[in-house]
Structure 1
């Protein structure tokens, strides 16, 4: 037994190299080879060996784990780690800075939640500026470049990963939820209204808007309520009420956008020549949501994508898109027209473009939930887009400059008026949401019954605006800023204004009808002698034939006592040339135009085709057969062509 200590060591080393779960038979065999022991002594030794082996393996695992996770900062300010080499700890430098995640921020835009890390850093004795890093970007460690070229990661394929691990295991970040949009949100069964200054309804809520939108900021508690409400209502008196009443109505309606169903389905459009204070009065309306600068408004110089994203962020507020004006270059005009068409349709239809993630799964859409207001010297050219516009014409002299100046001097009161309105709505929000569908249907039906409006969208425009005026006057009366008589007078006047504006837009819509435009173009070209229509029954051998228009001009088709027979290609080419020379484009494609003519009963067809086969000068041709009145409706007034 004196040799026992010397013979146990090689046996333990051998056991340490073997896998766990070694059987009793193997140990017994090995012990017999080394020692001359009784059975009882052998069993005791086997038990001892097992305990020694287990403790050795546990110690090794602990040392490995300790070496992997043991980090420290050396005297030079380097983040370092300890590694093991031949059983000895060796320090390894990772980087010449120390960084910690102080806060993890959840940014909530109402559609997605994005995580960000707020990271502080220190380079020896120098504090580095706070930076925010998207959580998905953190593990790359490329964000270190924000601290400049002086931040150095030591060579080695694993240095970045160990540094990332060190930062995460040694950071104890707090968590902060931040909203990145304006407007209404329901949090824990409580309604709050968000702007850059915080949340009306919960002062602890934090809001973060893009820098260019930080001016959307309402006071969390209104001051001088009655004075502020009066200043807001005085806006009605700065000019023609056909302009000011719709503007004020839409300012307050915008704050209700996401609360009411259906949402407003139009875009207010201030339309008039330069020098009529379009932008100034629109800016006064916008000032209900904060203190803005006129030179920092959204414009048609911005891209369509940026405007769509901005309209998504600006929920339940007014967004102003300024200055849709003529362009000297055709390409610039087309770009502006395209932006106008897209943003008007998006805002009125409450739709956004589909987007995809990197893995081709679908993202949410940036749908607008506020009201977009546009100012411009021109109008969009497509009838279907114009139907989505609430047109507010403005001319020279319509705004009284002195009253406008007085109103501007009180602009700092307007955010307090809006804050008061938001508080008032918030206290009765459930009832407002419950009653709105009934009130809206009642007002829309009243507009339909005027019998002067035959376009349902225009009746809905009237109903939305009148509902807002009714709500505004209820609020003002309860705050003792209006008497009952003033309330009734304003409601009656507003209804007259909304109906009149809708009737004027209806007339414009009819003028913008593509079929009406085609008729006007053909009649103009005939009158100018630029096209001709030949009598249908004239044979090819006839020396003299009757023509409508100049016989030496371009032949567009034929006519008889009942119909005009247009050659489709010739007709469409003439329309395109006319529009090009007039600096515009025809609003629809040829097939859409012909379908619209069929729907109006102007196009004679056999079957599903737009054209029919006719015999002309002994030949069969596919022609558009139109009632003669389409071209000759004003013949008696114009005289013989």
Structure 2
């Protein structure tokens, strides 16, 4: 066996010479070259030697070959340290980041990673300065709360295990919420995936991959596309496992299903927040930072779609700016970790947490920790750029001020508890049926000729009143037809949930009240809680055909009134002229008489 080495002296490939001995004649086979990274599995045996076989079990034979390789290498390679996971490892009091392509950091050890698919995604055609600056430019491509959260999440993830070992464990996940087709998955991958092979699983396929995925160290794992389960059973199974995953990451403690603590960060994407009873939602909400997706791809949402966003996304996606920058950032971190990184991080964490404490007393204690991690991780990345002279002190300060403003605003948004799932389903279906005009809602002050009106929007009173019983029946029947459900929350229970979510006004402790213009008792929504729905209702009412006819009639009336006014003015002018002529004639006669 011969070894092919890199310029640094590390083995990059091995050349094997095979022999066949049939008892009498020895035949030499063509040489076989196997890459160092391919030796981790036995797959290369069947690829390179299709007719090769062992007289013993293949797995055992493969182990013999690995031992033979180690014995054939020089003495320096005999001291190989095998690690099971990528990310940070501490050897001889020095921190080293391990990935499939090698190590980052100062070490004399020969460290080998079992997983050969965790290669850092690095574009060698761009400089580290360009990669850093373009990574910061990514913050401006979409809504700042969204982009800052995603960038900070990956920056927290790449230092998770050192933080955990120093009692600074980040105990939260990020939940990216938005309708299907907006681009959640594509954006998540671009911002958070630093390896060539992405760490992403579909939430309804993850049962077989969960243990492996959650154990990924110092990186972000994406659990994608929550909220599209085809059956209630699958939805229930998924909810149970995701809730447990949220809690495991939130606690960072071993459990019955996980023999070791999760040492990475998790990002969930979905059309809605996880379905849980209200008590559990409140508890789990502190373990999750919820962010709304900005519309990237969905052209149907005309008011929010912007082709410039797509253009920016395409520019950033074609080059691995962020992952390339993070690779160099890890080199900087490796030196700091062995000195004062943790001390500085702890000090900044405590200072920022205290500042978030001053912003609001109502926020969950865990959430203040979560946002302290997000802002400190971003600040360290900015410090790296400052020390490398990629940005000026003034630019660094500006980015920090902006990040603080963004995260303070996002923290305040966390104070609003996620809606109960049935409430969310009801509200989405209600809006859909109103837009389809299957439920007629008018606007006070805008004329209409609609019959069977079931709702009235009063902009001055900030209410949307709906005749509750018929509206409830129409919406729930629609929900049951669109799903495999056999029942839905009762109208009384749903009314209570709407009150708990502060979506409706209370009337003497009841959910409904009589409203002028509607038949039957009505439920009254606070339109400040549903601005998009109300805006669409107002726009639809103004655009109805009857209103257009009214405008034309009003325009014709104004024209007729103007013409009548002009006639009156002409008639009056004639009278004045006649009167003036008479006055002149009389004056002339008096003059003649005086002569």
Q: What TM-score does the superposition give when structure 1 sets the normalisation length?
A: 0.52
1:231/1:410 contact within 8 Å kept: no
SS at match of 1:178: strand
1:243 Cα deviation after fit: 0.6
Q: 1 CA distance for matches of 2:28 and 2:240? A: 52
Equivalences for residues 352-363 of structure 1 within 5 A = 352-354=254-256
Structure 1 residues 224 and 126: CA distance shift in structure 2, 3 A: same
- The 5 Å alignment of 1:381-392 reads 381-382=275-276, 383=281, 384-392=283-291
Structure 1 pair 373/315, CA: closer, same or farther in 2 (3 Å)?
Answer: same
Q: Does 1:180 align with 2:84?
A: yes
Selected match of 1:418 from 320, 326, 331: 326
Equivalent position to 2:316, from 407, 414, 427: 407
Q: How many Å apart are 1:496 and its aligned residue?
A: 2.0
Rounded Cα–Cα distance in structure 2 between residues aligned with 1:247 and 1:196: 24
- The residue number in structure 1 matching 2:100 is 196
SS in 2 for 1:285: helix
Alignment check: 8 A CA contact 1:216 1:291 kept: yes
Contact 1:199 1:205 in 2 (8 A): no
Q: 1:151: Cα distance to partner?
A: 4.8
Listed as ranges, the matches of 1:425-574 within 5 Å are 425-429=333-337, 430-451=339-360, 453-509=362-418, 511-512=419-420
Q: Does 1:224 align with 2:133?
A: no
CA distance in 2, matches of 1:441, 1:367: 24
- Equivalents in 2 of 1:247, 1:421: separation in Å? 17
Aligned to 1:393: 292
Tell me what 1:379 maps to.
Answer: 273
Counting only pairs closer than 5 Å after superposition, residues 53-72 of structure 1 correspond to structure 2 as: none
Q: Deviations over 1:291-323 (max 9, x none)?
A: 346xx73222434363222221x2111222221
Q: Secondary structure at the match of 2:151?
A: helix
Contact 1:257 / 1:263 at 8 angstroms: preserved in 2?
Answer: yes
Secondary structure of the residue aligned to 1:227 is helix
Number of aligned residues: 388
Instruction: Decide whether the 8 Å contact of 2:204 with 2:229 is kept in 1.
Output: no
Compare the two structures and name the one with the higher helix fraction. Answer: 2
CA shift at 1:580, angstroms?
6.9
Give the deviation of 1:244 after TM superposition: 0.5
**Distance of 1:406 and 1:338 partners within structure 2:** 39
Cα deviation for residue 150 of structure 1 reads: 6.1
Equivalent residue, structure 2, for 1:304: 207
1:415 offset after TM fit, Å? 2.6
Are 1:424 and 1:475, in contact at CA under 8 Å, matched by a contact in 2?
Answer: yes
Going from structure 1 to structure 2, the CA distance change for 1:638 and 1:452 (only over 3 Å counts) comes to farther
Q: Does 1:325 align with 2:222?
A: no
- CA drift at 1:206: 3.9
CA distance in 1: counterparts of 2:317 and 2:284, whole angstroms: 33
Cα distance between partner residues in 2 of 1:196 and 1:169 = 22
1:498 Cα deviation (Å)? Answer: 1.5
Q: By percentage of residues, which structure has more strand?
A: 1
Structure 1 residues 307 and 240, CA gap change in structure 2 (3 angstroms)? same
Unaligned stretches of 5+ in structure 2? 4-15, 22-26, 42-48, 296-303, 428-467, 470-484, 491-499, 516-520, 523-595
> What is the match of residue 337 of structure 1?
239
1:508 CA displacement: 2.0
SS at match of 2:150: helix
Q: How does 1:139-178 map to 2 (within 5 A)?
A: 151-152=54-55, 172=71, 175=78, 176-178=80-82
In structure 1, runs of 5+ residues without a counterpart are 1-99, 103-118, 135-145, 154-160, 356-363, 521-548, 551-578, 585-599, 601-628
TM-score relative to the length of structure 2 = 0.56
Farther-moved stretch of structure 1 (272-281 vs 434-443): 434-443
Structure-2 residue corresponding to 1:207: 112
Higher-RCO chain (CA-CA 8 Å, sequence separation at least 6): 2
Give me the CA root mean square deviation.
4.4
Q: Determine whether 1:366 maps to 2:260.
A: yes
